[in-house]
Structure 1
Amino acid sequence: MLDNLVVAVTGGGSGIGMAACQAFLGKGARVAVLDLQPGEWAEALPVRADVADQASMDAAMLAVAERYGGIDVLINNAGISAVGTVEENSDAEWARVLDINVMGIVRGTKAALPYLRRSTRAAIVNTSSIAATAGLPKRALYSASKGAVHALTLAMAADLVAEGIRVNMVAPGTVDTPWVERLLSRTEDPAEERRRLEARQPTGRLVTAQEVAAAMLYLASPAAGATTGITLPVDGGMSGLRLVR
């Protein structure tokens, strides 16, 4: 079902985005890796792209469409983290995280829509987070940004459904990526902090990037043609289970 599907993945150079690129390639899709540092790929098209710059995103999507003849799927995955209470992040941090995590999706979508509208299999998958709907300590800014992604996804789905463009989102829990490793390295006791993160997920372990990528595959696939405007949690049960231990 994914053979020759053209998929553009923002933030595809590492973590969840890299796992998504690898997963789509494994299913026969043609993949463009959009990132500030896309890396070198034998089978995919690496494109340097900055989600903080509309001109950069326009040029990147044009490069993808010129190489592959169009775009069928956009994975809006690029994002950055923030740690702190509502008092602890500066105005500049708030502006930067909201600009990357929310406006980055806006810019990527604007740039891709002219090509998606020409596809008969068009889909957009945004990366949200369990933080959008669950109160997590010291994640005020990050949670606010992902809450905005949640609302934005629903609004985009409503606006685009009549054009045959499906819009959904994945909501990962804590994923074992280099990004999380960097966050852990800033704590006083990284091993204890990792244990705490693992314990708060009912499965007792961190989510893998490949598990999130598998959810993206489903939402992007034409086999999910009746699925739009939904959140697919990949969170080890955090959103629905309340275990007593």
Structure 2
Amino acid sequence: MFSLQNKKAVVTGGGSGIGKAIAALFAKQGAEVHIVELTEESAKAAVEEIKENGGKVFSHACNVANQQEVLATFEKIGNINILVNNAGIAHVGNVETTPEADFDRIMNVNVKGVYNCLHAAIPQLRNSEGSVIVNMASIAAWVGIPDRFAYSTAKGAVMAMTLSVAKDYMAENIRCNSISPARVHTPFVDGFISKNYPGKEAEMFDKLSKSQPIGRMGKPDEVAALALFLCSDEAGFITGCDYPIDGGFIKLNN
């Protein structure tokens, strides 16, 4: 089950964290994986690890916020079956403390970047049998999270784009779903804690872990497993859905 043999998959932001876990699992399941990262160096560790495990993987340096770069990259890759829009950046701040430049930067990467990749991928996806898109949203699109104004706005847009694409391309056998993680333990989280809470790393890690009712952060591999299911033939009846993977955060956080 959940084989991706003879499938070609693009994973944006596949060089680290959740994206890296998705790229590695897809390659393990037989897909030819193309990692799109801002620089080749950002993808190097993921590429080496996947190749060591016998996977077929390629990397491409591309700024997803630049449509011409995205179009050229997808043309180079050619005829994909799966797109995982995972690339994104974070931001801390409410509407008053979010400078215009930061808001524009979040929109350019987290919203326009998804649009650019969808725009480039759809013509290829319609040429293959049973194509799939998975967009990485967030629980921030579902619930109010303090000091995440721009990020929440962007992830809400990602969820809306997911529904729109699912509706528009259903007749062409292109499925589109999204995943909404709560906090997932990645190198980004460790860096965020050390930068913003120096000397209190262990305390803040414990606090952030316990903000999920299940009592811990998610693991990148757990998100990757959900992405694999949604991109497999076994999920052929699923489109236009968002899947929270949140340790009970949305429904059980009383």
Superposition TM-score tier, normalisation by shorter sequence = over 0.9
* Secondary structure class of the residue paired with 2:249: coil
Is this contact kept in 2: 1:122–1:166, CA < 8 A? yes
Q: Which runs of 5+ in 1 are unaligned?
A: none
Say whether 1:217 aligns with 2:214: no
After TM superposition, the structure 1 = structure 2 runs for residues 57-76 of structure 1, keeping only pairs within 5 Å, are: 57-65=70-78, 70-76=79-85
Partner of 2:204: 193
Mapped to 2, the partners of 1:24 and 1:139 lie a distance apart of 31
Query: How big is the shift at 1:144?
Result: 1.0
Say whether 1:89 aligns with 2:102: no
What value does the CA root-mean-square deviation take over the aligned residues? 1.2
After TM superposition, the structure 1 = structure 2 runs for residues 24-103 of structure 1, keeping only pairs within 5 Å, are: 24-36=26-38, 37-39=42-44, 40-41=47-48, 42=51, 43-65=56-78, 70-103=79-112
Mapped to 2, the partners of 1:32 and 1:149 lie a distance apart of 22
Partner of 2:22: 20
Paired residue total: 239
TM-score normalised by length of structure 2: 0.91
Amino acid in structure 1 at the alignment position of 2:95: V
Partner of 2:157: 148
Of residues 190-199 and 171-180 in structure 1, the stretch that sits farther from structure 2 once superposed is: 190-199
Mapped to 1, the partners of 2:164 and 2:207 lie a distance apart of 35
Mapped to 2, the partners of 1:107 and 1:161 lie a distance apart of 20
Is this contact kept in 2: 1:187–1:193, CA < 8 A? no
Identity of aligned residues (%): 41
* More helix as a share of residues: 2
Partner of 1:113: 122
Mapped to 2, the partners of 1:22 and 1:242 lie a distance apart of 32
Structure 1 runs of 4+ off > 4 angstroms? none
Amino acid in structure 2 at the alignment position of 1:28: G
Q: Deviations over 1:39-61 (max 9, x none)?
A: 24433011111101111111111
Q: Among residues 196, 201, 207, which one is paired with 2:218 in the alignment?
A: 207
* Secondary structure class of the residue paired with 1:134: coil
Is this contact kept in 1: 2:218–2:247, CA < 8 A? yes
Q: Deviations over 1:104-140 (max 9, x none)?
A: 0000011111110101020000000011111111111
TM-score normalised by length of structure 1: 0.94
Amino acid in structure 1 at the alignment position of 2:65: A
Q: Deviations over 1:135-191 (max 9, x none)?
A: 111111111111111111111111111111000001001011111112111223222
Partner of 2:139: 130
Mapped to 2, the partners of 1:123 and 1:187 lie a distance apart of 38
Is this contact kept in 1: 2:212–2:253, CA < 8 A? no
Q: Which runs of 5+ in 2 are unaligned?
A: none
Query: How big is the shift at 1:84?
Result: 1.2
Mapped to 1, the partners of 2:202 and 2:100 lie a distance apart of 31
* Secondary structure class of the residue paired with 1:44: strand
